[in-house]
Amino acid sequence: MSGRFEGKTCIVTGGARGIGAAIAHRLASEGCKTAILDVDEEAGRVREKQLTSMGLSVKFFKADVSVEEEVSKAIEEVYETFGSIDVLVNNAGIGYGKPLELQTLDEWRRVIDVNLTGPYLCAKHAVRYMKERGGVIINIASTRALQSEPNTEPYSASKGGLLALTHALAMSLAPYRIRVLAVSPGWIDTSEWQIPPRKPELSPLDHGQHPAGRVGRPEDVAALVAFLASDEAGWMTGINVVIDGGMTKKMIYIDENVIEDSIKMLLQDTELASMIRTLIERAKKDRDEMREVLKELLEG
């Protein structure tokens, strides 16, 4: 792998597991001295050991990104250890899903604290050192900043805020030659980057509904982050780059074609999918007849 980051240092928050671990691995593999900043000390140590045993320059630093004193101290330690901070990847984040009326204010605040205030604090404290020779900040947002399933208000709001924080920082830090970008992943299966690694449990429907033909992998996001952090992306700042296998560009209207395609992917059986489609078409013409046929089939 080319050494695009030889002589440079990066911080990857939430780098112990998941997408952050893949980003830390990728940047370190390209020659970057890599600081993993994570709240989970046990996981952080395991990841540090794994990556250093591969000959990579990686060190773990413990901090909760939502606590300013911890962020400030950890970033100072990174600078003292490595001598510069060139790239900050704000990746640490927590998910959330609960019906609106059951959501508590404490939960809302925690998600905003980690997912939005965390990147703000890390940027604020890293910039003290990045100003010396310029650099790049990359905020890992989500396609949920742009579209939603029900019951995700704190998460979606935190990621939407992160997109706004991205362009605000890009303008404030431009005079210091610090570029700031957001990356918005869609569905990324992180099982293989957990501790311990797990086997992905994904169905053909999970993969097949993506225009790109598969669910995303942490390595997909890591490759994009490495490009954006490199000098090759030197003319990009302030924007959000979506990486989602095409899902946010997919127009969805429900009709027989969509149902047939979904059944085909779900059952991996073209003939059966076509027969079920015929049943639906017949049911549209004569619902009562089809109800009787299906009742007999299911009861018999």
Catalytic residue positions, numbered: 155
Rounded Cα gap, residues 160 and 147, in angstroms = 10
Within residues 131-170, the interface with ligand NAD by CB under 6 A covers 140, 142
Q: Is residue 91 close enough to count as binding ligand NAD by CB under 6 A?
A: yes
Cβ contact 182:162 at 8 Å = yes
Rounded Cα gap, residues 138 and 2, in angstroms = 21
Rounded Cα gap, residues 11 and 15, in angstroms = 9
Cβ contact 100:57 at 8 Å = no
> Among residues 152 and 273, whose Cβ is nearest to ligand NAD?
152
Segment contacting ligand NAD (CB under 6 A): 61-69, 98-106, 123-131, 231-239? Answer: 61-69
Q: Is residue 14 close enough to count as binding ligand NAD by CB under 6 A?
A: yes
Q: Is residue 180 close enough to count as binding ligand NAD by CB under 6 A?
A: no
Task: Out of 11, 12, 24, 65, name the contact with ligand NAD by CB under 6 A.
Answer: 65
Give the shortest CB-5-to-ligand NAD separation in angstroms.
Answer: 21
CA distances from 166 to 139, 160, 162, 174, 183 (A): 7, 10, 6, 12, 10
Q: Is residue 64 close enough to count as binding ligand NAD by CB under 6 A?
A: yes
Q: Which amino acid is at 171?
A: M
Segment contacting ligand NAD (CB under 6 A): 75-83, 90-98, 206-214, 281-289? Answer: 90-98
Cβ contact 65:121 at 8 Å = yes
Q: Is residue 122 close enough to count as binding ligand NAD by CB under 6 A?
A: no
Residues forming contacts to ligand NAD in the complex (CB under 6 A) are 13-14, 16-20, 38-40, 43, 64-66, 91-94, 114, 140, 142, 185, 187-188, 190
